[in-house]
Structure 1
Amino acid sequence: RGNGAISLQVGVGGKDKIKIGKIGGKDVFSSVELQKDVNELEYKKIKKTVKETVEEHSKIKDVNTNPGFVVLKNQPDFGVYQKAVTQVVLLDEIIGLLHRFDADFKGYKNRRGLIGATSSVSWESSDKTFEVIAYREKKKWGTKRLVDDESVKLMDKSTKTTFDNYDYKNNHNRVTPSSPCPILYGIRGDDTEELIDSSSMIKSELVESWLIFETNQGTDDHLRKKEISDVAPFESVIVKGTVEQPPYTIKGGHVLFKIKDSTGTIDCAAYEPTKEFRHVVRDLVIGDVVEVYGG
């Protein structure tokens, strides 16, 4: 889905289960704990199903689409995920790891999707949020979505644990994607039961199916505190410093400024899509102490 990666743990679950969705009119449940792994025959069936699904639904002809899938019997170390969200990971590193784990995998075109797929199955969901994703009828994919903005606002004001539902200053519905994908809307939050309730508040076209995902959204997993001299290209960091150069605006509406700490200086930018946040940045003056988050 987009440039995100999804992992599924498959096996025989225990008696305790929770409802996580509805597909084809049937409830979908997730077991609270894994009781038994799949057998070899089931493993081969899973691998075949994953391969067929990826090849059927991937937009392979798109220049930016480079999917990949991995099927492993053992979970890689959490450090694989941590490195992937904070640094640059080379494809050769991942392929070497997959061979060591005797994994079944396949990458398409430049095979970059293998990095995200492997990192996803390495994630430990101790710090997490949830998202309930509602899907459209296939015949409506690529057409204008019908999601009532007022119902989204009402849901936003009626729930305690959901977040990033509506941008009131720019009058922008944040739960509906802008791409022609199969998703009707996605609501993010910290409580699965409230997410199910919140979804029922949305007035929209017919929801063909829905599913709740565990996610790393809103966790700041990708950010690491660093001194300026230790920041490397393509890293996402938290840096504390003093404003050395006052903010100025460049073509496109982006606002730039410079900060320093005891180890060096670094350029910072508030890009045009951050909208009102740029007004805050423009109020900075030389000598202000700030903590900046970005990459």
Structure 2
Amino acid sequence: MKSQIAFFMGEIDCRNHILKHGSSRRTIVQNAKKVATRYVRAVDELSRPRKPVKLAVVALPPATEAQHGNEHQPSVGTHAQRTVAVAAFNAGLRAAAKSCGMQVFEAIASLGDEQGRPLGAYFADGVHADPRCLPVVVQELRQKGWLDMHGHDLAVAQALACIAPPTRHSLPCGLGDLRTARLVLAERAALRCRAAGAKTAAVYGAGRHTHDLGLACFTRAGLRVVALLDDSPAVDTLHGVRVMRPDAVRTRFDAVIISSDGHESTLLQSAKRRFGSSKLIMPIYTQPE
């Protein structure tokens, strides 16, 4: 199996050094792309003598709006100039990475507003991405084949299990779409179950929500759905899994995931009454107790 290495170049280097060597838009863009190209080539040359390795570079996050007075790494230029530098660097990064067969991770780079400022929901200090970015970052890592949630990456799941999603900002990376956001939150619930040691689950709620959501968001996280529970089943099976009343289920499972956007609190209380502490009970939209 190939080793996997992702390289980060700090936003601080871009905001400080690149702008020292150019003030016009043209020179900023030229300098940023030149640095990005040299950076990727250096990464490529560094890896060649070693055993087969899977490489990626991480695109720079949005430029900070703060004027840092650090004597060693101060902010240089205006925020608009720094935004131009970051955009040019990332464009150069993509082009150079493509020519070398590297992947580019874009999740953190997408966490800015229309003016290129870091979204406060993800950058508590206006500079550094904080743990609230993890659901988006992990999704990209998994989609690009860098995480196998069926294997040994439960440390990621444990990290996800400790954080709350942003609530007052639209989700980045196209996750503003309601269905996509639901899938991410459902997968997070499954990751929390896996982090707690669960391997099998019953999904409580076999109505429209589960029909539209599907079960792949749970199985991708390494959780096997063995039953669908519903107080008033309208169908015998859904997504290839048997639907039954909670009091009739005989299949063994480790966790219960509540699948409803309109009645989550009601089903959550019902699950607690029925299963007590014998099962891990996990909501999708609210924080578990």
Q: Which has the higher contact order (CA 8 A, sep 6+)?
A: 1
Q: Same fold (TM over 0.5)?
A: no
More helix by share: 2
More strand by share: 1
What TM-score do the two structures reach when normalised by structure 1? 0.31
